[in-house]
Amino acid sequence: MTEKDLIPSAYTNQVDKGSFEWSAPSNIALVKYWGKKANQIPANPSISFTLNNCKTITKLAYERKEDTNGISFDLLFEGQPKESFRPKIEKFFERVAGYLPFLEEYHFTIDTHNTFPHSSGIASSASGMAALAMNLMSLERELNPAMTDEHFYKKASFLARLGSGSACRSINGSVVVWGLHAEVEGSSDLFGVPFTGDVHEVFRNYKDTILLVDKGEKQVSSTVGHDLMHGHPYAERRFAQAHDNLSAIKKALTEGDVSAFIGIVESEALTLHAMMMTSMPYFILMKPNTLEIINHIWKFRQDTGIPVCFTLDAGANVHVLYPESVAVEVLGFINAELLVYCQNNQYICDEVGTGALSLY
Ligand code: DP6
């Protein structure tokens, strides 16, 4: 499939007014996307667990308007107008306009909220862009009822990617690959695809407890961080490593090899942050408590043999990953030893989930 296949031919149906509602989850990358080319094309393939509880819920109301000069929308966050979110949505609409020719024909009201606490330091761009993309595809399907499910989901992921790269992995569950990889059939730089290999039982209901270390605004956005991979001294080697790690984690996921999984996931998290520290200008997003938590996890794993590990996204929070079978022990450990490193003792319990859900 190429970008051209995602530009619709004439629509067969007409609708004037209505609304849709979708929830879309966050996702946590196991092999990280860090570095991109023009038009949101990733520099390397990535793979993620789709989450279940951290979600954005978005209602999109549409009404045909008289004029067709420009995109018009109202934006509500938690029921209130939210001016600060508008530029991101405007940019998204501009990027997707060529693929959704109906956009200028309607006035939209976007009403959105998250299930996770406000300013928890959890990025809502992945779930937010995914939920909006699903709604827009619902409208396109009204205009073209012959659309297949396959096209619907692929194009939703494609649109979400244009909003925020990692958002393309928030459409489907439960393990998603984004970016062309020699060993993943159907993989594409244009959209995320569900991992088609067997996922061993141990990984099917994997837990992700997100420790909220720092809820403040990040000093360096992901978009700026990606940009710093241009001309980065280790970039090419890093991109090649991501291909190798994706092959290795694919095998671990299929075989249920938790210890190989842990080695890849933790190395990926630290490599991501190493890329930040070796960018020019360089920066550090981890906080002292991030390192405290990592060291405690390593000690606990060594002392008990319980297969718990961590990963990080572009921030200070720590995602603690573990099989469901050891959930009681790990939650006991988190409460006893890690809570003191969390801001206001806060953490969020999540787990592998199934992807976006329609609520209409
Ligand atoms: C560290 O998807 O937030 O979480 O495409 O610029 O919106 P943009 O970046 P974004 O980057 C996410 C980076 C990451 C790793 C990952 O999710 O793979």
Residue ranges covered by each domain of the chain: 3-198, 208-351
29: Cβ below 6 Å to ligand 1? yes
Rounded average pLDDT per 10-residue block, the chain, 360 residues: 93 97 98 98 98 97 92 96 93 97 97 84 87 98 97 98 98 98 97 95 97 85 95 98 98 98 98 98 97 98 98 96 98 98 96 97
Q: Which of 350, 336, 215, 229 is nearest to 287 (CA)?
A: 215
**Cβ of 39 below 6 Å from ligand 1:** no
What CATH code would you report for 208-351? 3.30.70.890
**Pairwise CA distance, residues 203 & 201, whole Å:** 5
222 CB under 6 A from ligand 1? yes
Continuous segment of H or E residues that includes residue 21: strand 17-31
- Ligand 1 center–CA 32 separation, angstroms: 8
Beta bridge partners of 194: 176
What DSSP designation does 218 have?
Answer: P
Q: What is the CATH number of domain 3-198?
A: 3.30.230.10
Task: Give the CA angle between residues 279, 165, 139 to the nearest 5°.
Answer: 160
pLDDT (0 to 100) of residue 349:
97
> 268 in ligand 1 pocket by Cβ < 6 Å?
no
For position 352, what pLDDT does the model report?
98
**What separation in angstroms does the CA of 331 have from each of 57, 312, 350?**
28, 19, 12
What pLDDT score does 121 carry? 67
Q: How distant, in Å, are the alpha carbons of 130, 154, 155 from that of 2?
A: 20, 11, 11
With a 6 Å cutoff on the Cβ, whether 223 touches ligand 1 is yes
Q: Is 125 in the pocket of ligand 1 (CB under 6 A)?
A: yes
pTM as predicted: 0.97
Q: Tell me if domain 3-198 and domain 208-351 are identical in fold.
A: no
C-alpha–C-alpha distance, residues 82 and 227, integer Å: 28
Cα-to-centroid distance, 105 and ligand 1 (Å): 31
Question: Does ligand 1 come within 6 angstroms of the Cβ of 112?
Answer: no
pLDDT recorded at residue 119: 64
Ligand 1 mean position, distance from CA 349 (Å): 21
